[in-house]
Amino acid sequence: MSVERADLEAKLKEIQDVVDETKESARTVGIAAVVGVVVLLLLVYLMGRRKGRKGSARVEVFRLG
């Protein structure tokens, strides 16, 4: 049994294709996760601001005279 150069090149091409597919899917998942975390943080921040405004007392001081 002998291994030819063409056999090696074909196998390496298959491996490279699998690596490229995995890299693309990992990149897509990574970007989706980052976007999800940013949206979640923004939502928590905005809800916290609203809660803070509702709970705080407003005191107005008028100077007469």
Whether 45 is covered by a domain: the verdict is: yes
Q: pLDDT digit string (tens) for 27-40?
A: 999 999 999 999 99
Domain interval for residue 8: 1-53
pTM over 0.95: no
Whether 27 is covered by a domain: the verdict is: yes
Whether 41 is covered by a domain: the verdict is: yes
Q: Is a pLDDT exceeding 80 seen at residue 25? A: yes
Tally of domains in the chain: 1
User: Average pLDDT for residues 40-49, to the nearest whole number?
Assistant: 92
Alpha carbons within 13 angstroms on the beta-carbon side of residue 48 total 6
CA distance 15 to 9: 10
Mean pLDDT of the chain: 88
